[in-house]
Amino acid sequence: MKITRQKHAKKHLGFFRNNFGVREPYQILLDGTFCQAALRGRVQLREQLPRYLMGETQLCTTRCVLKELETLGKDLYGAKLIAQKCQVRNCPHFKNAVSGSECLLSMVEEGNPHHYFVATQDQNLSVKVKKKPGIPLMFIIQNTIVLDKPSPKTIAFVKEVESGQLVSVHEKESIKQLKQEQGLVKNPEQRRRKKRKKISGPNPLSCLKKKKKTEDTKSPASKKKRKRIRIRNRSTSKVLSEKQNAEG
């Protein structure tokens, strides 16, 4: 029976590996219900999961799952201890925690780019996970770990990709990587490393003293001189007019 289960697991893993890029170490997101089932069935997750999946595994959870287990009290104290030994992945609910099922569902949005497995006993969460393509689902039945077969939604998605109607997330990542290797797309790290403008000193032209207006630069002597010339001109014209009147 054990060999049959491993054959099915190997087949399902090959499907997710070839079509969605799932690879080792397999990252398995646990919720409180899965931890509780493992505790009741005395399932040693750290020992049995790598043997069942025939590869390296990482047990993960989120802050929301831990918070939920804390609020549920003593009945789930053992499940909380199991979850606390898992790696805590960052979720988008840092300030306002949500339910464990809602949090795990948000971790596999947008095509499940981190290739998470979802391990849960919650039937509602399992139904929602199956509606999203490319997410391996795990649960415990009769004290044994089971990797669920690909959902109909996942199989339909793969067929659409094969027919050319869609592009899988795995293919998008491969195309993006090829473009970066060929230099067609700038690496995001290079964009961040933009040269900062050096802090320059003040403009030397702004430090120069402002020139006085041309009227201010002219000396008062020149003003007086101009005034004298005007007076002289007036007196001469007056003398000439008197002379002409006398002669007439």
Provide the 10 A C-beta neighbour count for residue 105.
19
**Cα 92–Cα 93–Cα 99 angle in degrees, nearest 5:** 120
CATH number of 5-150: 3.40.50.1010
Is residue 153 a contact partner of residue 112, using CB atoms and an 8 Å limit? no
Task: State phi, psi for 193 to the nearest 5 degrees.
Answer: -85, 50
For residue 43, the surrounding DSSP H or E stretch is none
pLDDT recorded at residue 210: 60
Which three-class secondary structure state does DSSP give residue 109?
Answer: coil
- Displacement of CA 216 from its chain's centroid (Å): 64
Q: How many CB atoms lie within 10 A of CB 203?
A: 8
Q: What is the pLDDT of residue 221?
A: 52
Alpha-carbon distance of 161 to 215, in angstroms, equals: 83
| C-alpha–C-alpha distance, residues 112 and 21, integer Å | 10
Q: Mean pLDDT for the chain?
A: 81
Residue 141 has a pLDDT of 94
Cα separations in angstroms, 40 against 53, 142, 155, 240? 21, 10, 33, 133
Beta bridge partners of 88: 61
Contact 175/166 with Cβ under 8 angstroms?
no
Quote the pLDDT of residue 4: 83
Please tell me the pTM assigned to this model: 0.67
Question: For each of the chain's 248 residues, which pLDDT tens digit applies?
Answer: 567 888 999 999 999 999 999 999 999 999 999 999 999 999 999 999 999 999 999 999 999 999 999 999 888 999 999 999 999 999 989 889 999 999 999 999 988 999 999 999 999 999 999 999 999 999 999 899 999 999 999 999 999 988 876 555 555 555 555 556 666 665 555 555 555 555 556 666 666 666 555 555 455 554 454 555 554 555 555 555 665 566 55
Classified as helix, coil or strand, 186 is coil
Q: Give per-residue pLDDT as tens, 82-91.
A: 999 999 999 9
pLDDT tens across 192-219, in order? 555 555 555 666 666 666 655 555 545 5
- Secondary-structure percent of the chain, ordered helix, strand, coil, rounded to 5: 55, 10, 35
